[in-house]
Amino acid sequence: MNPLFQATAALLLSFAPPFMGGSPGTGGSPVTAASPADGLKREQLPADVDFVFHLDVEGLKRTEMWKVFQETAGAEMEAEFDELDEFKAQYGFDPLTDIKAVTLYKMKSEEDPTVALFCTSAHVDQALLALSKEAGYARVQDGGIEFHTWHVAEDAMDETVHAYVHPLPNGERLVVAAKNRASALRAARVLRGEEPNHLAGGALLVNPAPGSFLYVSASDVEKLAEFTPASQVFGLAQGIQVDLGEAGGFLRAHLSVLTEMPEKARQIADVVQGLVSLGGLALAGQELEPALEVLRALRINTKGSEVSVDFEFGVRRLVDIVTQLSELEDSEDEDEAEIEVEAR
C-alpha cells in the first residue's frame, strides 16, 4: 500500500469512541459544541501554542479553485490515487471525504510540531474496527484517559503514534494523533477541559479571516530565518501569519510579519519590495511575462511594527497563467531533449 495511505491509517483510523475510557474532568470546559468543522477553533488548542497550521478541507472544497482543479486535474488525481479504492474497501474510510479539517500545532517547549488534530466523520469507527485486529495495535491508559497506539514502519518512518478520540454531539470526531504519549495526553486534556485552552488566554495571535481555508500563525520563526532569501525577512521578524481564502471567484492571500519596532517593519517592506521589483525586471519582455501579471497583484504595506503583503487574483485567470507557464516549460524540455539527441 502507498506510504501516504499507511501513514493516514496510522494517524486517523486507529482510534475511535467505542474504545474510549474515563470522563472529562472538572478543570475547565470540555469541547462539546456541535460547531461546523470549517474553521480554526481556539478552544481546541493549548494556551501556550507558538505554531499553528490549519487546513479547512471542507471549506477548500467549496471554492472556485477546487472546482477548477477538479475540471483540469480530476482524471490525473484519480489515477494517482488508484490505491485509495483498496484502502476504502478495507477500512470503510475515505480520507478525501471523511476528513473535514486538519490542524497541526506545537507548544513553546517543543522544537517541532508533535500534535495533529483531525476532524473526521463517524466513518472512522468502522476503520478502527478493522485496524484493531491488526498487529501492532494496542490500548493504553494514562491519567485516567484511554489512548490507542499504532506502529508506523514504512521507508524512513518508524514510530508509534499515540492517539485519543474526542466525540462531538454532531456525530463528528476530533482525533488527536501525536508522536509521543505526553503530547497526546496534553492535547486530550485540553479537549476535555482539564487544561487551559488558547481561547482562555493564549498569547499567539490566531485570527483567520472569514472564508479562510488555510491559516498559519507562528511566533517562533528562527528556523525560517535559516533560508535565503527568507533570512532577510524572517531574521527581523517576531511572528508571522499566513491566510489563504477565496471570495467571489478571487483567490485572496494575506501575509503578516510582526516585528519589534516600526523601523524593522520598514526594512522588511523595502526588502520585499526590492525582490518584487527585481522579479518584474527579470520577467518583462520574456516568455515568462504572463507571470508578471501575478507579480503586479502584490500589495505591500506597513502599519506600525507590522508588514503586510496582500494578493487578490481571479482564480480562472490564475489557472490560465499557470497552464501557460507549464506548457512553456514542457516545450523547453522537449527542445532540450531534441538537442541532446542531435548532439549524439
* Terminal Cα-to-Cα distance of the chain (whole angstroms): 41
Map grid coordinates 490505491 to a residue: 83
Render 107-119 in DSSP notation, one character per residue: ETT-SS--EEEEE
Judge if 181 and 233 occupy the same domain. no
pLDDT at residue 54, rounded to an integer: 94
Assess if residue 33 is contained within a domain.
Answer: no
Domain that holds residue 275: 207-344
Q: CA angle 289-284-297, nearest 5°?
A: 65
Task: Examine the pLDDT at 145 and tell me if it is beyond 60.
Answer: yes
User: Per residue in 177-217, pLDDT tens?
Assistant: 998 889 999 999 999 999 999 988 777 878 888 889 999 99
* pTM metric for this prediction: 0.80
Which of the listed residues 204, 230, 251 is the one where a domain comes to its end?
204
pLDDT at residue 183, rounded to an integer: 92
Please state, in angstroms and as integers, the Cα–Cα distance from residue 132 to each residue in 3, 15, 152, 153, 224, following that order: 19, 8, 14, 17, 40
Judge if 200 and 217 occupy the same domain. no
Query: Taking a C-beta distance cutoff of 8 angstroms, is the pair 311, 253 a contact?
Result: yes
Which of the listed residues 169, 204, 239 is the one where a domain comes to its end?
204
Judge if 72 and 53 occupy the same domain. yes
More confident residue, 344 or 126: 126
- Which helix (H) or strand (E) element contains residue 64? helix 64-80
How far apart CA 15 and CA 120 sit, in angstroms, is: 11
Distance of CA 156 to the CA centre of its chain: 21
The tally of domains found in the chain comes to 2
Judge if 243 and 293 occupy the same domain. yes
Query: Taking a C-beta distance cutoff of 8 angstroms, is the pair 182, 36 a contact?
Result: no
